[in-house]
Chains A and B, each alone.
Chain A
Amino acid sequence: MVDKKKESLPISLDLLEALAKFQQIEFEDVELSFDELELRLSPGMVMSAPVVNTSQQIVPTVKPTQLLEAQVGIPPGEYLGKVVEVKLGATKADGGTRGRSFFIGGETAPAFYNFQAKTPNRPIIAMDVFDWGKVPLARAVKMHFREVVDDPAEWAKLCVEKFDADMINLHMLTIDSFIDDASPKSALKTVEDVLEAVDVPIAVGGCGDPKKDLEVFKVIAEATAGERILFNSVTLDMDIEATAKVVKENGHTVIAFTSMDVNKARELNRKLYDFLPKEDIVMDTTTAALGYGLDYAFTVMERSRLAALKGDPELNHPISSGSTNAWAAREAWMKMGPEWAPRELRGPIWETITAQTLLLAGVDYFMMMHPAAVQAVRTLINNLMSGKTPSEAPDWVSLKL
Chain B
Amino acid sequence: MSPIEVYKMLPMTNCKECGESNCMAFAAKLVNREATLPECPLLMEPKHTEAYNKLWMLLKPAVKAVEVGTGDKSVTLGGEYVLYRHEFTYFNLPSIAIDLSDEMPQEEFEARIKIADEFEYEYIGMQLSLDMIALRSTSNDPATFEAAARKATDLTEMPLLLCALTPDVMEQALSAVGNKRPLIYAATKDNWKEMADLALKYNCPLVASAPFHLDALKSLARTLTEYGVVDIVLDPGTQWDEGIGKTLDNFTILRWDAINEEEEYLGFPLLGAPIVAWTEEADDPLINEWNEAMLTSALITRYSDILVVHSVSGWSLLPLVFLRQNLYTDPRKPVSVEAGVFNYGNPNEGSPVLLTTNFALTYYTVASDIEGAKMDCYLVVVDSEGLSVESAVAGRKMTADTVAEALVTFEVGDLVNHRHLIIPGRAARLSGEIKETSGWTVSVGPLDSSGAAKFVEDNWPPKTD
User: Which residue numbers of A lie inside 8 Å of B, CB to CB?
Assistant: 2, 4-11, 13, 16, 19-20, 34, 36-43, 45-47, 49-54, 56-57, 59-60, 63-75, 112-115, 136, 178, 208, 235, 237, 259-260, 286, 288, 290-296, 298-299, 302-303, 306, 328, 330-331, 334, 337, 339-343, 345-346, 349-350, 352-353, 356-357, 360, 376, 380, 383-390, 393-401
Interface on B for A, CB 8 Å cutoff? Answer: 33, 36-38, 53, 56, 59-61, 64-65, 67, 76, 79, 84-86, 89, 91-92, 99, 101, 103, 120-126, 136-138, 140, 163-165, 185-186, 189, 192-193, 211-212, 214-215, 217-223, 226-228, 230-231, 237-249, 252-254, 256-257, 260-261, 263, 265-266, 273, 275-276, 278-284, 286-287, 290-291, 293-294, 297-298, 301-302, 308, 310, 314-316, 318-319, 322-323, 325-331, 333, 335, 359-362, 364-365, 367-369, 371-373, 385, 387-388, 390-391, 394-396, 428-429, 447-448, 450
Chosen A-B contacts, 22 in total, with CB atoms closer than 8 Å, are A16-B286, A19-B286, A39-B367, A41-B125, A49-B91, A50-B61, A54-B231, A64-B226, A67-B189, A67-B219, A72-B214, A72-B257, A72-B266, A73-B257, A260-B335, A299-B85, A340-B314, A346-B318, A380-B244, A396-B238, A400-B138, A401-B310
Q: Which residues of B contact A341 (CB under 8 A)?
A: 314-315
User: Is the Cβ of A331 less than 8 Å from the Cβ of B322?
Assistant: yes
Is A54 a contact partner of B308 (Cβ separation < 8 A)? no
A41 and B367 in contact, given A75-B257, A357-B297 (Cβ under 8 angstroms): yes
Q: Are B215 and A353 in contact (CB under 8 A)?
A: no
In the complex, which residues of chain B have a beta carbon less than 8 angstroms from the beta carbon of A298? 301, 326-327
Q: Is the CB of A383 within 8 A of B242?
A: yes
In the complex, which residues of chain A have a beta carbon less than 8 angstroms from the beta carbon of B37?
Answer: 53
In contact, A52 and B185 (Cβ under 8 angstroms): no
Q: Which of A66, A71, A380 has the most CB of B within 10 A?
A: A380
Contacts A52-B36, A67-B219, A334-B448 supplied; 17 other A-B pairs, CB < 8 Å: A7-B281, A8-B241, A11-B287, A19-B286, A34-B121, A36-B373, A39-B124, A39-B367, A39-B371, A45-B333, A290-B326, A298-B326, A299-B331, A341-B314, A352-B294, A393-B212, A396-B278
Nearest-neighbor residue (CB-CB) of A390 within chain B: B243
**A398, B84: Cα distance in complex, Å:** 35
The reply to whether B85 and A293 contact each other, CB–CB distance below 8 Å, is no
Known: A63-B227, A349-B315. A6 touches B281 (CB 8 A): yes
| Distance in angstroms between the alpha carbons of A224 and B289 in the assembled complex | 45
- Is B165 a contact partner of A45 (Cβ separation < 8 A)? no
Task: Please determine whether B388 and A376 come into contact, CB atoms closer than 8 angstroms.
Answer: no
In angstroms, Cα B318 to Cα A330, docked, is 12
Q: Are B286 and A345 in contact (CB under 8 A)?
A: yes
Given contacts A42-B125, A47-B89, A400-B103, is CB(A72)–CB(B253) below 8 Å?
yes
Inside 8 A of A350's CB, which chain B residues have their CB?
319
B429 lies within 8 A of A178 (CB): yes
| Cβ–Cβ contact A11 & B301, under 8 A | no
The minimal Cβ–Cβ distance linking B209 to chain A, given in whole angstroms, is: 9
Q: Is there contact, CB below 8 Å, between B245 and A383?
A: yes
Contact of A72 among B120, B254, B279 (CB under 8 A): B254
Residue of B nearest to A300 (CB): B86
A356 contacts B371, C-beta separation under 8 Å = no
Which chain A residues border B391 with CB–CB below 8 Å?
259, 286
Residues of B within 8 A of A39 (CB): 122, 124-125, 367-368, 371-372
Residue of B nearest to A291 (CB): B322
Evaluate contact between B322 and A115: CB separation under 8 angstroms: no
How many contacts A-B (CB < 8 Å)?
A: 343
Are B322 and A74 in contact, CB atoms less than 8 angstroms apart?
no
- By beta carbon, the residue of chain A nearest B192 is A67
- Given A259-B391, A356-B298, A349–B319 Cβ distance below 8 Å? yes
**How far, in angstroms, from A50 to B55 measured CA to CA in the complex?**
14
Contact indicator A396/B275 (Cβ below 8 Å): yes
Bound-complex Cα distance A63 to B448 (A) = 63
Instruction: Chain B residues near A16: list those with CB within 8 A.
Output: 284, 286-287
Looking at the complex, which one of B85, B248, B371 makes contact with A112 (CB distance below 8 Å)? B248
Most chain-B CB neighbours within 10 Å: which of A337, A380, A389, A401? A401
Q: Is the CB of B65 within 8 A of A49?
A: yes
B253 touches which of A75, A291, A346 (Cβ 8 Å): A75
Please give the distance in Å from A387's CB to the nearest CB on chain B: 6
Residues from chain A with Cβ under 8 Å of B36 in the complex: 50-52
Q: Among B231, B265, B367, B394, which residue has the most Cβ atoms of chain A within 10 A?
A: B394
Asked if B253 and A57 sit within 8 Å, CB to CB, the answer is: no
* Cβ A37 vs Cβ B122 within 8 A: yes
Report the bound CA distance from A74 to B257 in whole Å: 8
CB within 8 Å for A237 and B396 given contacts A7-B287, A40-B371, A50-B91: yes
Contact A398 B140 (CB under 8 A): yes
A386 to B37, CA, bound (A): 48
Closest CB of chain B to A264's CB: distance in Å?
10
Beta-carbon nearest neighbor of A298 in chain B? B327
Shortest CB distance B329–A (Å):
5
Q: Is the Cβ of A46 less than 8 Å from the Cβ of B126?
A: yes
Name the distance in Å between B140's Cβ and chain A's nearest Cβ. Answer: 7
A293 touches B359 (CB 8 A): yes
Across the interface, B227 reaches (CB within 8 A) one of A60, A112, A339, namely A60
Task: Flag if B290 contacts A349 (CB, 8 Å).
Answer: yes
Query: Measured between C-beta atoms, what is the minimum distance from B135 to chain A in Å?
Result: 11
User: Is the beta-carbon distance between A38 and B372 smaller than 8 angstroms?
Assistant: yes
